[in-house]
């Protein structure tokens, strides 16, 4: 009897060890599956988000370029005329942008159909008061605040996303895409303008020289003349010094036009100081 009991106990232990081994293996496999699926989900969500913000930037570029000078940028803006874009008209640019994003929304459903993608664009509000230094909100999709000492171009929209075949439900993001330009100072002694450029939610923009561009215009009689830029120097933290070959007279209205690599434009305006000494440009 004792021998039988020992054999029974040993058998139970062996079976228990085998069961535990199977459970541990199953748990590790399940954990690996969840970890792998989590990575795939993150990558999918990240790809859709990046593409969403790229689409928003393209539509803001369209709105700012047609509003500033439709003809000059007609290689880009003219493509959207058959969709209802009216040259220089911001309201029609907003309608075209909404239509474009609805098409993008449908395309995402097709591309990610095997993942069970359900996408919904949501009208949203973004507070850009800190960027502009005064109360301002993006509540009608696109907001252009131009011809001030601190100006900005913004587009804002929300995105809801489900990936039903991957177990993701209720994911949301609010995206604000934009470009902010401030005229900080004008130095009459060496014909230099100091500006600050920020992207999106206030990130310092350091690619104006390599990937963007900047222009300066000044009032001459009843029209505008383009100033010749001698040099542009990046000082860091979004600040640039623009040295002109053109000497701007005292108390002359001038504008600075900046563009980033996404094609988004913004226009700021100021007045040269009355004295020839260093001083703040007036708005």
pLDDT (average), residues 214-240 = 96
Tokens read off for 216: 């300066």
pLDDT, position 32: 35
For 247, which DSSP code? P
Q: What is the pLDDT of residues 186-207, one digit of tens each?
A: 998 899 999 999 999 999 999 9
Q: What is the SS3 assignment for 280?
A: coil
- The pair phi, psi for residue 200, each rounded to 5°, is 50, -120
Tokens read off for 112: 């990610």
**28 vs 103: which has the higher pLDDT:** 103
22 pLDDT above the threshold of 70:
no
The pTM of this model reads 0.84
223 pLDDT above the threshold of 70:
yes
User: If pLDDT is split at 50, 70 and 90, which confidence band does 41 have?
Assistant: confident
The C-alpha atoms of residue 181 and residue 7 are separated, in whole angstroms, by 84
- In three-state form (DSSP H/G/I as H, E/B as E, the rest C), the secondary structure along 14-31 is HHHHHHHHHHHHHHHHHH
Q: What is the pLDDT of residues 54-109, one digit of tens each?
A: 999 999 999 999 999 999 999 999 999 999 999 999 999 999 999 999 999 999 99
**245 vs 22: which has the higher pLDDT:** 245
pLDDT, position 35: 44
123 pLDDT above the threshold of 70:
yes
- Helix ranges restricted to H, 70-142: 74-77, 90-111, 129-132
What value does the mean pLDDT of the chain take? 87
Q: What is the SS3 assignment for 96?
A: helix
The DSSP element (H or E) to which 181 belongs, if any, is strand 168-187
17 pLDDT above the threshold of 60:
no
CA-closest candidate to residue 214, choices 262, 255, 185, 155: 255
User: If pLDDT is split at 50, 70 and 90, which confidence band does 38 have?
Assistant: confident
Q: What is the pLDDT of residues 156-172, one digit of tens each?
A: 999 999 999 988 898 99
Question: What is the β-pairing status of strands 203-204 and 192-199?
Answer: antiparallel
């Amino acid at each position: 009897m004792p021998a039988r009991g020992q054999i029974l106990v040993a058998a139970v232990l062996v079976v228990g060890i085998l069961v535990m081994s199977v459970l541990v293996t199953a748990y590790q496999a399940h954990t690996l599956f969840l970890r792998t699926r989590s990575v795939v989900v993150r990558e999918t969500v990240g790809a859709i988000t990046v593409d969403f913000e790229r689409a928003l930037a393209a539509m803001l570029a369209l709105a700012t370029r047609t509003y500033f000078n439709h003809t000059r940028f007609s290689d880009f803006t003219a493509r959207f005329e058959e969709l209802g874009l009216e040259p220089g008209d911001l309201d029609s640019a907003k309608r075209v942008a909404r239509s474009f994003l609805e098409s993008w929304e449908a395309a995402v459903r097709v591309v990610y159909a095997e993942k069970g993608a359900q996408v919904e664009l949501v009208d949203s509000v973004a507070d850009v008061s800190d960027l502009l230094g005064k109360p301002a909100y993006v509540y009608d999709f696109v907001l252009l605040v131009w011809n001030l000492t601190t100006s900005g171009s913004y587009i804002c929209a929300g995105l809801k996303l489900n990936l039903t075949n991957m177990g993701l439900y209720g994911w949301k993001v609010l995206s604000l895409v934009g470009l902010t330009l401030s005229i900080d100072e004008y130095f009459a002694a060496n014909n230099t303008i100091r500006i600050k450029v920020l992207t999106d939610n206030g990130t310092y923009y350091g690619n104006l020289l390599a990937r963007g561009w900047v222009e300066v215009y000044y009032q001459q009689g009843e029209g505008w003349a383009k100033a010749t830029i001698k040099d542009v120097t990046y000082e860091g933290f979004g600040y640039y010094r623009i040295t002109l070959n053109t000497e701007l007279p005292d108390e002359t209205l001038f504008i600075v036009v900046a563009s980033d690599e996404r094609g988004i434009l913004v226009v700021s305006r100021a007045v040269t100081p009355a004295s020839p000494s260093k001083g703040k440009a007036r708005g």
